[in-house]
Structure 1
């Protein structure tokens, strides 16, 4: 089934341009976020990977920039089944492939894991934070990343990947480790494993896109306030990159801040709270309480410089 790119993704494209998807109805297709705004450059990269028929994809970029969400939203609109797992240092291949489980009769049945199900169903398998995975475990996925059959040791079953199966990974690093020291637990991955991926670098959306996002998620917050929120986000990100803060204001956190501000705005006004107090209270619940006390004080100073004591949002 083909989908018109322009109407499906709400981007500027000729009406004649379409992309292949699946027929609706599979239970593993994620639900769409109707307020999601696609970035044309990232979408173009994704479509190139998809149309080339590459088996595996690796998206790298800073925390909260939208690496996983763009995969989820593309799968939702093309009706592609998606199985999603979050990696960690203790994750082992059998957890992805499957294992024996006790059945109702007291016996043991082998139950396929999410990776094998995705291979059989021809869906997308998304593993988030793959650079937290032990490199030896990741290396065990080399054949799968290339689309080769896998033999399940416990049963001897040989699983051949469906032609539409795709293996997708996201990470804060490009697999070479974290030279910045900004992300804890990141491990340098095996070069042979990384060599199997089509790589896409994802950054934070530009200011115009983030302003659009805030308009969608918090329309009751004034445009001047939203513009200042975006400016603050970029300033805090710059401090984070320079190592001057241990927290950053991702797009995910930015939208949370705007939502909380919108929710609290009317109540705050009725209680006589100033706009600056309302914004700071919402900011702390979105990000500030994750920061060390000295950092929080510095972040509050950034807010004060941008907002001062303005009227209620």
Structure 2
């Protein structure tokens, strides 16, 4: 499991792509050497990957918790190409299977959809925001969720599922449970018959130590003063993660604190890290101005003023003077 950054015995079934078409190989995700896998989620993914190739994996979790990146980084390490699709309200079966187009010479040509490509070439079909599509769409492909051959009505072709083909679905809500937070608009509860066919994996924001390690690993080697670079990286990652934790607490409803309408996801946290370094090294802004500039771009321009002020206050209190150690390039 060392390929996944875990010091434990064991291996994961990988793919040999020696005879694959270059257009298929190009869809193998690029490996991020700094990505941090969580052992529990990786364990479930690995068992599903090897034991249930004919059943989909359904991954739920809050926005920015790393669902898509988790799948892509897993596939990068096992050499699996990924064809992805983001669901929407008007998605229909032809968007998955394929349709005819008119070529330049006016002839008609059938173009495979992402599900057909996965079945034909042995790819992972990654469906993001599953519940944004009508529930009856997934009912219409129930047989394919069980690994059955794919029949293309438009051409009469029958495609047996490639042994490597997999389906992964991600969503912010849990499938058969409504979004009680009201954060995710236009979502559809899924039919029990569909969800019954899926393995389930839940992802929350990664734990403190892993998130700090992730932040620290993605800080470039820059010039700082008043402390060593390694010490600064560790302290900066620690404070930034504490700030994110406090914002998340406020977002989830901390007693005595005005609720806010946005949170700092891991995705936003990494964006904020970059912006704080850029603004702190500019030498043109005060510490507070640099912080507010970074926060506005990373998150707060999209929220109400009360939420923005609350977030700014929390982050400023946790970061303190750590950005004053940044030296101008």
Matched position secondary structure for 1:174: coil
In 2: Cα distance, 1:209 partner to 1:308 partner: 22
In 1: Cα distance, 2:262 partner to 2:186 partner: 16
Moved runs in structure 1, 4+ residues, more than 4 A? none
| Corresponding residue for residue 265 of structure 1 | 280
1:35 aligns with 2:34: yes
| Corresponding residue for residue 204 of structure 1 | 205
1:82 Cα deviation after fit:
0.8
1:9 aligns with 2:26: no
Closer, same or farther: CA 142–241 of 1 in aligned 2, 3 Å: farther
Scaled by the length of structure 1, the TM-score of the pair is 0.91
1:312 Cα deviation after fit:
4.2
Deviates more, 1:69-78 or 1:300-309: 300-309
Counterpart contact for 2:31–2:76, Cα < 8 Å: yes
| Corresponding residue for residue 225 of structure 1 | 236
In 2: Cα distance, 1:240 partner to 1:93 partner: 37
Matched position secondary structure for 1:211: helix
| Corresponding residue for residue 246 of structure 2 | 235
In 1: Cα distance, 2:7 partner to 2:321 partner: 40
Give CA-to-partner distance per residue, 1:148-172, whole Å, 9 cap, x none. Answer: 1221121121222112211110000
Counterpart contact for 1:87–1:129, Cα < 8 Å: yes
In 1: Cα distance, 2:167 partner to 2:97 partner: 14
In 1: Cα distance, 2:300 partner to 2:141 partner: 39
In 2: Cα distance, 1:223 partner to 1:278 partner: 20
Closer, same or farther: CA 309–9 of 1 in aligned 2, 3 Å: closer
1:24 Cα deviation after fit:
4.5
In 1: Cα distance, 2:236 partner to 2:30 partner: 30
1:309 Cα deviation after fit:
5.4
Scaled by the length of structure 2, the TM-score of the pair is 0.87
| Corresponding residue for residue 283 of structure 1 | 295
Give 5+ residue unaligned stretches, structure 2.
19-24, 223-231
In 2: Cα distance, 1:245 partner to 1:159 partner: 50
Matched position secondary structure for 1:188: coil
Closer, same or farther: CA 288–154 of 1 in aligned 2, 3 Å: same
Aligned residues: 303
In 1: Cα distance, 2:141 partner to 2:261 partner: 33
In 1: Cα distance, 2:266 partner to 2:297 partner: 15
In 2: Cα distance, 1:236 partner to 1:187 partner: 29
| Corresponding residue for residue 53 of structure 1 | 52
- Mapping 1:114-193, distance limit 5 Å: 114-176=114-176, 177-193=178-194
In 2: Cα distance, 1:249 partner to 1:148 partner: 41
Q: Could you say what the CA RMSD is over the residues aligned between the two structures, in angstroms? A: 1.7
In 1: Cα distance, 2:63 partner to 2:152 partner: 34
Give CA-to-partner distance per residue, 1:7-26, whole Å, 9 cap, x none. Answer: x1121212xx2222112462
Matched position secondary structure for 1:29: coil
Give CA-to-partner distance per residue, 1:190-232, whole Å, 9 cap, x none. Answer: 1111111000001110010110111111255643232121111
In 1: Cα distance, 2:251 partner to 2:132 partner: 21
